[in-house]
Protein backbone atom coordinates (compact mmCIF):
# COMPACT_ATOMS: atom_id res chain seq x y z
CA UNK A 1 0.00 0.00 0.00
CA UNK A 2 1.24 3.49 -0.90
CA UNK A 3 1.60 6.07 1.88
CA UNK A 4 1.06 9.84 1.65
CA UNK A 5 4.01 11.55 3.28
CA UNK A 6 3.29 14.84 5.03
CA UNK A 7 5.59 17.85 4.80
CA UNK A 8 6.75 17.37 8.40
CA UNK A 9 8.27 13.97 7.65
CA UNK A 10 9.90 15.05 4.37
CA UNK A 11 11.35 18.04 6.20
CA UNK A 12 12.85 15.85 8.94
CA UNK A 13 14.21 13.45 6.33
CA UNK A 14 15.88 16.24 4.34
CA UNK A 15 17.51 18.00 7.31
CA UNK A 16 21.26 17.89 7.44
CA UNK A 17 21.35 18.63 11.17
CA UNK A 18 19.07 15.77 12.24
CA UNK A 19 20.31 14.75 15.67
CA UNK A 20 17.51 12.69 17.20
CA UNK A 21 16.52 9.34 15.71
CA UNK A 22 13.08 9.47 14.15
CA UNK A 23 10.76 6.54 13.63
CA UNK A 24 8.96 8.50 10.91
CA UNK A 25 12.20 9.14 9.00
CA UNK A 26 13.08 5.45 9.26
CA UNK A 27 9.62 4.58 7.93
CA UNK A 28 10.00 7.06 5.06
CA UNK A 29 13.36 5.52 4.10
CA UNK A 30 11.73 2.11 4.01
CA UNK A 31 8.79 3.40 1.94
CA UNK A 32 11.18 5.04 -0.53
CA UNK A 33 13.08 1.76 -0.93
CA UNK A 34 9.81 -0.10 -1.46
CA UNK A 35 8.42 2.52 -3.88
CA UNK A 36 5.53 3.30 -1.52
CA UNK A 37 6.24 6.96 -0.62
CA UNK A 38 3.84 9.39 -2.28
CA UNK A 39 4.67 13.05 -2.91
CA UNK A 40 1.72 15.43 -3.12
CA UNK A 41 2.15 18.55 -5.23
CA UNK A 42 1.09 20.75 -2.32
CA UNK A 43 3.73 19.10 -0.10
CA UNK A 44 6.44 19.76 -2.71
CA UNK A 45 5.32 23.40 -2.76
CA UNK A 46 5.50 23.64 1.04
CA UNK A 47 8.99 22.11 1.11
CA UNK A 48 10.35 24.41 -1.58
CA UNK A 49 8.60 27.52 -0.23
CA UNK A 50 10.69 27.53 2.93
CA UNK A 51 14.07 27.78 1.17
CA UNK A 52 15.75 31.17 1.06
CA UNK A 53 18.98 30.34 -0.80
CA UNK A 54 18.55 29.76 -4.55
CA UNK A 55 21.27 27.09 -4.75
CA UNK A 56 19.57 25.07 -1.99
CA UNK A 57 16.23 25.54 -3.74
CA UNK A 58 17.62 24.11 -6.99
CA UNK A 59 19.36 21.24 -5.20
CA UNK A 60 16.23 20.23 -3.29
CA UNK A 61 14.05 20.65 -6.36
CA UNK A 62 16.30 18.25 -8.27
CA UNK A 63 16.44 15.81 -5.37
CA UNK A 64 12.64 15.64 -5.22
CA UNK A 65 12.26 15.13 -8.99
CA UNK A 66 12.42 11.39 -8.42
CA UNK A 67 9.02 11.55 -6.74
CA UNK A 68 6.20 12.31 -9.19
CA UNK A 69 3.55 14.72 -7.98
CA UNK A 70 0.09 13.58 -7.09
CA UNK A 71 -2.04 16.60 -7.86
CA UNK A 72 -5.29 17.69 -6.29
CA UNK A 73 -8.50 17.50 -8.27
CA UNK A 74 -11.44 19.88 -7.99
CA UNK A 75 -13.24 17.19 -6.02
CA UNK A 76 -10.28 17.03 -3.60
CA UNK A 77 -10.68 20.75 -2.88
CA UNK A 78 -14.39 20.26 -2.22
CA UNK A 79 -13.68 17.30 0.05
CA UNK A 80 -11.01 19.33 1.87
CA UNK A 81 -13.57 22.08 2.54
CA UNK A 82 -16.07 19.50 3.83
CA UNK A 83 -13.42 17.99 6.10
CA UNK A 84 -12.54 21.44 7.41
CA UNK A 85 -16.19 22.19 8.16
CA UNK A 86 -16.71 18.83 9.87
CA UNK A 87 -13.68 19.36 12.09
CA UNK A 88 -14.63 22.94 12.93
CA UNK A 89 -18.06 21.76 14.04
CA UNK A 90 -16.25 19.54 16.54
CA UNK A 91 -13.95 22.37 17.67
CA UNK A 92 -10.91 21.11 15.74
CA UNK A 93 -8.95 23.69 13.78
CA UNK A 94 -6.64 22.94 10.89
CA UNK A 95 -4.95 24.49 7.90
CA UNK A 96 -6.31 24.36 4.34
CA UNK A 97 -3.14 22.48 3.30
CA UNK A 98 -3.69 19.84 5.98
CA UNK A 99 -7.25 19.27 4.87
CA UNK A 100 -6.18 19.05 1.22
CA UNK A 101 -3.62 16.40 2.21
CA UNK A 102 -6.41 14.55 4.03
CA UNK A 103 -8.73 14.79 1.03
CA UNK A 104 -6.15 13.45 -1.42
CA UNK A 105 -5.14 10.64 0.94
CA UNK A 106 -8.83 9.77 1.35
CA UNK A 107 -9.30 9.63 -2.44
CA UNK A 108 -6.21 7.45 -2.83
CA UNK A 109 -7.23 5.26 0.12
CA UNK A 110 -3.72 5.80 1.50
CA UNK A 111 -2.66 6.37 5.09
CA UNK A 112 -0.80 9.57 6.01
CA UNK A 113 2.62 9.55 7.65
CA UNK A 114 3.09 12.73 9.69
CA UNK A 115 4.68 14.04 12.85
CA UNK A 116 2.03 16.78 13.05
CA UNK A 117 -0.27 16.00 15.98
CA UNK A 118 -3.12 17.85 14.27
CA UNK A 119 -3.68 14.77 12.11
CA UNK A 120 -4.38 12.77 15.27
CA UNK A 121 -7.25 15.16 15.93
CA UNK A 122 -8.56 15.06 12.36
CA UNK A 123 -8.74 11.26 12.33
CA UNK A 124 -11.30 11.44 15.15
CA UNK A 125 -13.74 13.28 12.87
CA UNK A 126 -12.98 12.60 9.21
CA UNK A 127 -12.44 9.31 7.36
CA UNK A 128 -8.66 9.27 7.03
CA UNK A 129 -6.08 6.73 8.13
CA UNK A 130 -2.76 7.47 9.78
CA UNK A 131 0.36 5.41 9.28
CA UNK A 132 1.39 4.77 12.86
Per-residue tens of pLDDT for the chain, all 132 residues: 999 999 999 999 998 676 777 899 999 999 999 999 999 999 999 999 989 999 999 999 999 999 999 999 999 999 999 999 999 999 999 999 999 999 999 999 999 999 999 999 999 999 999 998
Inter-CA distances, 126 with 21, 30, 77, 83, 86, Å = 30, 27, 15, 6, 7
Note whether residue 10 is domain-resident. Answer: yes
Q: How far is CA 10 from the centre of its chain?
A: 8
Domain range for 94: 3-122
Q: 79: exposed, middle or buried (C-beta count within 10 Å: 0-12, 13-18, 19+)?
A: buried
Number of domains into which the chain is organized? 1
Note whether residue 97 is domain-resident. Answer: yes
Note whether residue 127 is domain-resident. Answer: no
Q: What is the pTM of this model?
A: 0.94
Amino acid sequence: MKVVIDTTVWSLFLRRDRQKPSTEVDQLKQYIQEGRAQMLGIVRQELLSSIKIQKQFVTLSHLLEGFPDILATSEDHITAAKFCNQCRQKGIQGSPVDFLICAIAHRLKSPILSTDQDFSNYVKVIPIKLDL
